[in-house]
A and B are shown apart, each in its own frame.
Chain A
Amino acid sequence: DAKTTQPTSMDCAEGRAANLPCNHSTISGNEYVYWYRQIHSQGPQYIIHGLKNNETNEMASLIITEDRKSSTLILPHATLRDTAVYYCIVRNAYSGAGSYQLTFGKGTKLSVIP
């Protein structure tokens, strides 16, 4: 699976949009981009995923560049409860054994500030 690069930490004012970038310059055609987050003492929480097109759900929006080498997760109105470590993962959904194993990097620690 392609490697991802994320900033170590970010701050965001409560009520503002949080824009979390991810670089995945070696992504291949069959690889999806997934975002998860992990709040202290909880399991990883799935947020959103996409292949080529931008995606939106009740939690967030995912913007993928046209060349697919980077993406941005947008939390439109950040709250204190959004403080967490956010993980960007690129994974091939079509390959064989081992493709289902999720590997989290260091992620971005997002701090939402009152």
Chain B
Amino acid sequence: GAGVSQSPSNKVTEKGKDVELRCDPISGHTALYWYRQSLGQGLEFLIYFQGNSAPDKSGLPSDRFSAERTGGSVSTLTIQRTQQEDSAVYLCASSPHPLSQGAGQPQHFGDGTRLSIL
């Protein structure tokens, strides 16, 4: 489809394992965002990519979290040595560049990866 695609939709893993989450943004969107949402909670910003600029990593909760975006499209979020408090839904969003389509462009979300750490 034409929306943001995330995989896997569900991931169950043991504490201490590494996990990799994938996000495929909407074609042509230059901005990509990662958030996480714990049960019944709001959005927690993690990281933001815009084109070829250096990403804003200010929301990453620890150095166990990292993300990359290859070729300005697909992004992977990696969590090393997972802990139980990492259990959450990890959401990816994308949006067009404001200079190409005007300011105020909305973010469009995928359905997330539900991560459960045993």
Binding site for B on A (CB under 8 A): 32, 34, 41-46, 49, 51, 93-94, 97-98, 100-105
Contacts and interface: CB of A to CB of B under 8 A. Distances in A.
B91 interface: yes
B48 interface: yes
Contact of B42 (A41, A43, A45, A104): A104
A102 B56 CA distance: 14
Interface string B84-118: 00000001010100100001111111111000000
Given A32-B104, A43-B91, A93-B98, A100 B33 contact: yes
B48 A104 contact: no
B56 A97 contact: yes
B59 interface: yes
Interface of B: 4, 6, 31, 33, 35, 42-43, 45, 48, 56, 58-59, 91, 93, 95, 98, 103-112
A46 B98 contact: no
Contacts of A43: 4, 6, 91, 93, 109-112
Contacts of A101: 33, 45, 48, 59
B43 A93 contact: no
**Most chain A CB atoms below 10 A, which of B4, B106, B107, B109:** B106
A102 B35 contact: yes
Contact of B104 (A41, A45, A93): A93
Given A97-B56, A101-B59, A46 B108 contact: yes
Given A102-B43, A103-B43, A51 B107 contact: no
A51 B59 contact: no
A46 B107 contact: yes
A93 B97 CA distance: 12
Contacts of A97: 56, 58
A45 B106 CA distance: 10
Nearest to B105: A93
B93 to A, nearest CB: 8
